[in-house]
Amino acid sequence: MKIDLNLLATELLSSQELAPRARRVAQAVAEVYTSAFVNVYTIGAIEGKEAWVARASAGGESVMAGHAPIEQGSLGALKVQQAALLFSGADLSREDYAHLDVRRTLRSLAYLPIAKDGVLIGAIEILSFESVLTLDELQEMEPLAEIGAAALAAAQHYETERNDSLASVTRLTQLYDLERSFSSTLEMDELLPIIGSKFREVMECLAINLWMMRGDESIELMHQAGSDPTTAAGSVQKPGQGIPGDVSDNGEAVLIASSDDARLGPRSAMAAAGGVSTLLVVPIMDQGSLVGVVEAINKASGESFDEDDLFALTTITETASSALHNASLLLAERKVEVLETLVTVSHEITSTLNLERMLQTIVNAPQAVIPYERAAIALEQRGRFKLSAVTGVSRLNADAPEIAPLNSVLQWAALSEEVVNVKQHDDDIDADREETRAKFKQYFSDTGMRGFYAIPLNDDTGRVGILSLESSDPDFLTSVHAELIQVLAGQATVALRNAQMYKEVPFISVLEPVLERKRRFLAMEKTRRTLVTIGVIAAFVFLVIFPMPMRLAGDAVVAPAHRALVQPEFEGVVGKVLVREGEAVKRGQVVAEMESWERQTALAAALARYQTALLQMNHALASNDGAEAGIQRVQADYWKSEVANAQELLDRAALRAPIDGVVATPHIDTFAGRRLEFGDTLAEVIDASSAIVDVAIDDYDLSLLHTGQNAAIKLNGYPTRTFRGTVAVVSPKGEAQGDSRVFFARVAVNNSDGLIRSGMEGRAKISTGWRMSGYVLFRRPAIWLYSRMWNWFGW
């Protein structure tokens, strides 16, 4: 039977994919050999190795698996000779066609090579069970094989391009998904696992290692996604100690495609099984600075990494670096917050010599930076430890039911010279000694706590006491918290020692100056002594009888009385800015306009539809078509409401001043073209018609301070002018300032001429009325003396 090669070529061109073309080639051969089985193969890669891949069959299924080794049996002979082959069934052993699943006697086995431009790309396999094939018959099929070779080669090229395009789309989709995933959190502990899992998913590899830079220029393996037996989590490398360490030093990416690379030798030797066969190492750069290194280990398919994989990893690393930068900024901000809080706590501790106040500060204030639930201090007194302060307890009773277990365990912990750190996870208590485990099993059961940390307070002269912290979370302390506690304990030790020494000063230190002055007075001449006595009496009469104005003085800082922010109601680009810094604006005045092409288009479209509906309604009325006129009337009403809604949305594109005032935003005229998100601030408007001046008043004078009192203010910017106002508010909360605490009096001052500006500093005096001269002059010393006497004798 002759084959119409033109018709065959036309049919092959009707489909672009490989499988239909291979199937048509197999059918064409089967039409010639009606009693034979025909298989069509192409050469492809299976698990990184060349193999014969079955693409189509005709006459019956005979291929045992979807592929066969490239050098095996009769197909291997075709790979070597690359010419038409004919084997007699009698001359073949079963191993020669082990890739076939046949149950009948094979009379002939023939092969036609499929080659394009002299390169073997596939084969046609013919299995004859009834007749014996001849070489002449086989050679007559060579034109068909040539047409099939051209068709299959074109189909392979088409599918390769298609798959590459699909891979590019997939990569773009993955990059979009990566950006969304990386932007979902700013927590470094949550971000690193997300980066590791997404990198592993995109790179299709067995493991991803994320190394981050440390302060000593080394890198630490902070997260490991997947399995890499050659490197343990938490490992640290420096330049010269490994491939990641070298990349962190020179910043150059590394691609290792073969397991024979000498650079992999030391690393693979560390693993008993499953070493590294292919490796990608890429630096993580942030604004030109190296922040870490990422490793991709062993492709899941068994193939080697190539330049495309290196480009892909480099690209997604750039995306990850932005997320890591944002997370590091948050981490740095939290560290600054922790340090500021620690400084505040330290200042609170060292700003007083009042032992009771200091103890309360130590057990309560650190909760802002250390997540404990209860803290306690026991002070050493004559060789014994006395529970002196507990978090949240103002009047301490060591025998109270809720305090007694803590007192007992703190007395026991005070016997140790080292830090005591005990945790309970489920029923297991983490402690070295059986005695410790037994004691804390009962203690944790009684109190509900699961973590206990106690640190001795020692200095050069001996033991001051012991500080304990506890929580129901056994892992409430991290290494950072432990460092903070060490700093806090050192400062608390010094402060407590000073307070104890101050408290133990003998009473004679107060009486000695008085006795010395009495001796000097009695040693004077009688006339001089009389004059001094008369002077003292006159001074006393003056202090008791004559009044003086009482004024409270303090540092003053000007704050704006009223300010408001101009913010967009939708995200977009600023089209025009209509004001400048320092310009006065009225409430409702347009400050800037947002780009609103879409909203203008929507308004125009709604208006056009509304006018169309009106025209159609009028036309229906003119035609006496009442039903149609009613329908169009409803349409016109609907589009009229849509026009109103569109107009309202368009009006929101104009950003207006919320109050009368002055624009305080620097360089606001440069905001044109900037994109603003919902909630971003375009401008700040300050009402300068009045001002609030915050006056810091010492807490000793708080009882004299009331709203409505008159105040005189002298600002540094106007040294020859005095501004006057009235106390509007007295702050309900005190703040530390220097060595004392202050409360702020908010003084309202008229600023109609606009001279007073936010941020100005100076001094202020608040008038509290007339008092006796003695009260005005000696009130502060009298209060100090009274407090000292109360500390010694009061109850």
pLDDT digits (tens, 9 = 90+) for 385-441: 888 899 988 888 888 888 888 888 888 888 888 888 899 888 888 888 888 888 888
Nearest to 595 by CA among 572, 623, 566, 620: 572
* pLDDT classification of 467: cutoffs 50, 70, 90: very high
Nearest to 96 by CA among 118, 115, 111, 113: 111
Q: Which two tokens stand for residue 141?
A: 């099929």
**How far is residue 328 CA from its own chain's centroid?**
7
DSSP helix/strand/coil, 134: coil
Report d(CA 422, CA 454) in Å as an integer: 9
CA atoms of 452 and 456, how far apart (whole Å): 13
pLDDT at residue number 779: 77
- Which of these ranges, 41-45, 609-613, 729-733, has the smallest mean pLDDT? 609-613
pLDDT exceeds 60 at position 272: no
Euclidean distance between CA atoms 784 and 258, whole angstroms: 82
pLDDT digits (tens, 9 = 90+) for 480-520: 788 888 888 888 888 888 877 766 655 444 555 665 677 77
CA distance linking residue 76 with residue 504, whole number of Å: 101
55 CB-near residues (< 8 Å, 6+ apart): 18, 19, 22, 23, 40, 41, 42, 122, 152
DSSP state of 546: S
Tokens of 486: 């060490």
Q: What is the number of other CB atoms lying within 10 angstroms of the CB of residue 653?
A: 20
pLDDT category at 269 given cuts 50, 70, 90 is low
Greater confidence (35 vs 712) lies with 712
- Looking up tokens 């493991």, which residue turns up? 207
- Over residues 195-218, the pLDDT tens digits come to 778 778 777 788 888 888 877 778
- The fraction of the chain above a pLDDT of 90, given in percent, is 4
Distant-in-sequence, close-in-space partners of 518: CB < 8 Å, separation ≥ 6: none
Which pLDDT score, from 0 to 100, does residue 567 have?
77
Least confident residue range of 123-137, 297-311, 340-354, 472-486: 340-354
Write the pLDDT tens digit of every residue in 608-641: 787 887 887 877 777 777 777 777 777 777 777 8
Is the distance from CB of 132 to CB of 88 less than 8 angstroms? Answer: yes
The span from the CA of 712 to the CA of 726, in Å, is 9
List of residues 6+ apart from 295 with CB closer than 8 A: 207, 208, 209, 211, 228, 243, 244, 279, 280, 281
- Averaged over 700-715, what is the pLDDT? 87
Greatest extent of the chain over all pairs of C-alpha atoms, in Å: 157
Between the alpha carbon of residue 278 and those of residues 199, 305, 375, 447, 676, the distances in Å are 16, 6, 53, 55, 46
Instruction: Report how far residue 652's alpha carbon sits from residue 592's, in angstroms, rounded to the nearest whole number.
Output: 11
Are the beta carbons of 704 and 552 closer than 8 angstroms?
A: yes
In the predicted model, what is the mean pLDDT of residues 443-459?
89
Q: Name which residue leads in pLDDT, 232 or 172.
A: 232
Contact 279, 207 (CB under 8 A): no
Q: Which residue has the higher pLDDT, 154 or 636?
A: 154
Helix (H, G, I), strand (E, B) or coil at 45: strand
pLDDT tens across 79-127, in order?
888 888 888 888 888 888 888 888 888 888 899 899 888 888 899 898 8
Q: What is the pTM for the complete model shown? A: 0.38
Res 318 pLDDT > 60: yes
- Percentage of residues in the chain having pLDDT higher than 70: 92
